[in-house]
Amino acid sequence: MKIAKLPEEIQQLSTDWHEQGLTVGLVPTMGYLHEGHLSLVEAAVRECDKVLMSIFVNPTQFGPKEDFATYPRDILRDLRLAYGAGVDCVFNPEPKDMYPEGYATYVKVENLSQRLCGQSRPDHFRGVATVVLKLFNITGADYGYFGQKDAQQVIVLQRMVRDLNIPIIIRRVPTVREADGLAKSSRNVYLSPQERAQAPGFYAALLEAKELIDDGETSVSRITNLVRERIENIPLARMDYIELVDAQTLLPLEKIQKPALLAGAVFFGKTRLIDNIFIE
């Protein structure tokens, strides 16, 4: 497995692969890999001839009071896991090489970026869209792999790709969960034992709402109120938002129409967890 630090190295490697007629899959990550990341690699390995993984804790998607400095990092462990999963090359750049002195260009996907998580993290998706577009340009990948847990991120990036005519296909890979339903996340390590024990209640509330929908309930207010009530009854949980929205525009719905997205963000202590269910 090759390890590259500079964008020029990846550009040359990808060019060489494409000249050989090989397809290239990209798995963008911020490292501290878990089974969710490895499921993206698995999907890429099935579909592509070569797989690139980026490991880069992107400073532009963190707010001033967020956890950029303390975000979990373990590059040696990540490299072992990437190698074992079948990654052909890991791109692990330094911030100065992604954002050189005087950097002034950013990508903002209007409207979609301001909804759901964008309400409490106003510049987050600007940072995500910018770094992902840079990774698309640097790698020249044919396919990009992203997890459903970050559903809004996937929707924002799909719109960016469409609007800017980027020649890449985005694959959305199902969320990987712990045995008790908690979505795999690098931030789960922040949870105290008590918070970790209560955190699966978030997904359980979403599942209960899904059952209500499957039974024929169409009132969005009844569905979201059920989820809010369940979360309010979790002692250590503090709700950021729970919304049921159109799965393409992220606009709020009054009555269920498909496809839809039931999504939320909940704090357990200082740890902000996100989760969602697609209604398809």
Q: Give the residue numbers annotated as catalytic, written as ranges.
A: 37
The answer to whether the beta carbons of residues 121 and 63 sit under 8 Å apart is yes
* DSSP annotation string for 181-197: SPBP-GGGGG--HHHHH
Cα-to-chain-centroid distance, residue 89: 21
Cα-to-chain-centroid distance, residue 5: 23
The answer to whether the beta carbons of residues 186 and 161 sit under 8 Å apart is no
Which phi and psi angles does 239 have, rounded to 5°? -75, 135
Cα-to-chain-centroid distance, residue 130: 14
Helix (H) or strand (E) holding 46: helix 35-47
Q: How many CB atoms lie within 10 A of CB 208?
A: 14
Q: Which residue has the tokens 């409207």?
A: 111
Inter-CA distances, 17 with 11, 20, 135, 254, Å: 10, 5, 16, 49
Q: Which of 257, 247, 271 is nearest to 116 (CA)?
A: 247
* DSSP annotation string for 191-217: --HHHHHHTHHHHHHHHHHHHHHHTT-
Which phi and psi angles does 243 have, rounded to 5°? -145, 150
